[in-house]
Amino acid sequence: MATGTEPRPDESSGGVRARPRAAIAAPHLRTDRWWLAPAVTAAGLFAFVVYSTWRAFSNAHYYAAPYVSPFYSPCLAENCRTMHAGPNAGLLGGWWGLSPALIILIFPLGFRLTCYYYRKAYYRAFWASPPACAVAEPHRTYTGETRFPLVLQNLHRYFFYAALLVAGVLTYDTALAFRDPHYRWGHMGLGSLVFLANIVLIWAYTLSCHSCRHIVGGKLKHFSRHPARYRAWQFVGRLNARHMQLAWASLLSVALADFYVYLVASGVFDDPRFF
């Protein structure tokens, strides 16, 4: 009679089937469509990776006055110097022959790649580690994030500081989106609203970060002695409860803002202007 303690073929591996796991022959006992969420996540992230790679390498159609694509901001390219009034325009000079987006995107992509939510999303969607709750992963061993390269996920808090700078730059770009192509204030086109929606979502996602929550309210013994930090922690905590939704909404909005600039810059249509 089975006692549940018999050695199993792979129990020495230390993987998910090792003791003291119950000896269940079936891969899992879930009967719902548990595969749907990781499949949709994989499709969404893959679509973004394909789109952003194409745009990052295209090195074209990233400026349509007064809008600069968030993938190419701050506008470091030499040819931005004449097109864009930003303080960093042309900072790279002529020595960098590749697309400037390849430098700029390191920071927002590093922020998202190391994000606690995105880690869960792509660990499940692409590595099946595990694919869903109560569904065993196929890997025989588990080392977590204690070794290279996944130990680098601990850089997230530093990417958070970089993300604050990126959000600041995009806020500046959004302000410039309310000038007309002749640098006069008072312009509002459809692109201005696209940029406004994007920057609101970018800030909401950035401030909802778990690292931000810890920075704002962590290491305190008594909230009563720090009322300002308590209020800030409550605000960040409310955003943090929506972190997954904000992660997707801001990913979509930043891609849409870039695509809008691409359409206008490539002459597909003119930016509808309200005033």
- Footprint on residues 237-256 left by ligand FES (CB under 6 A): 243
Of 209, 236, 264, 265, the one binding ligand FES (CB under 6 A) is: 209
What is the amino acid identity at position 235? F
Stretch that binds ligand FES, among 43-51, 78-86, 136-144, 206-214 (CB under 6 A): 206-214
φ/ψ bin of 98: left (φ > 0), alpha (ψ from -120 to 50), beta (otherwise) = beta
DSSP string spanning 113-145? HT-HHHHHHHHHHHH-SSSBTTB--S-S---TT
Contacting range for ligand FES; rule: CB under 6 A; set: 43-51, 184-192, 204-212, 221-229:
204-212
With CB under 6 A as the contact rule, the residue among 96, 116, 123, 235 that binds ligand FES is 116
Q: Which strand (E) or helix (H) includes residue 59?
A: none
**What minimum distance in Å lies between the beta carbon of 139 and ligand FES?**
24
Residue 20, preceding bond cis, omega within 30 degrees? yes
Tell me, what amino acid is at 75?
C
Report the C-alpha gap between 117 and 27 in whole angstroms: 26
Q: Which stretch binds ligand FES (CB under 6 A): 44-52, 87-95, 111-119, 166-174?
A: 111-119
Task: Using the minimum distance from each CB to ligand FES, give the nearer residue, 138 or 237.
Answer: 237
> With respect to ligand FES, which residue has the nearer C-beta, 118 or 195?
118
Does 211 participate in binding ligand FES (rule CB under 6 A)?
yes
Strands (E), the chain: 63-64, 67-68
- In the complex with ligand FES, the residue whose CB is nearer, 28 or 210, is 210
Stretch in the footprint of ligand FES (CB under 6 A) among 28-36, 60-68, 109-117, 187-195: 109-117
Q: Can you tell me whether residue 42 is helix, strand or coil?
A: helix
Judged by beta carbon, residue 72 or residue 117, the one nearer ligand FES is 117
Q: What's the rounded Cα separation, in Å, for the pair 216 and 233? A: 6
Distances (CA, A) of 61 to 4, 188, 268: 64, 21, 11
Of the residues 115, 167, 169, 176, which one makes contact with ligand FES according to CB under 6 A? 115
Among candidate residues 231, 239, 250, the one with its CA nearest the CA of residue 212: 239
Please give the size of the binding site for ligand FES, defined by CB under 6 A: 9
For residue 107, state whether it binds ligand FES (rule: CB under 6 A).
Answer: no
Q: What does the binding site for ligand FES look like in residue numbers (CB under 6 A)?
A: 115-117, 156, 160, 209-211, 243
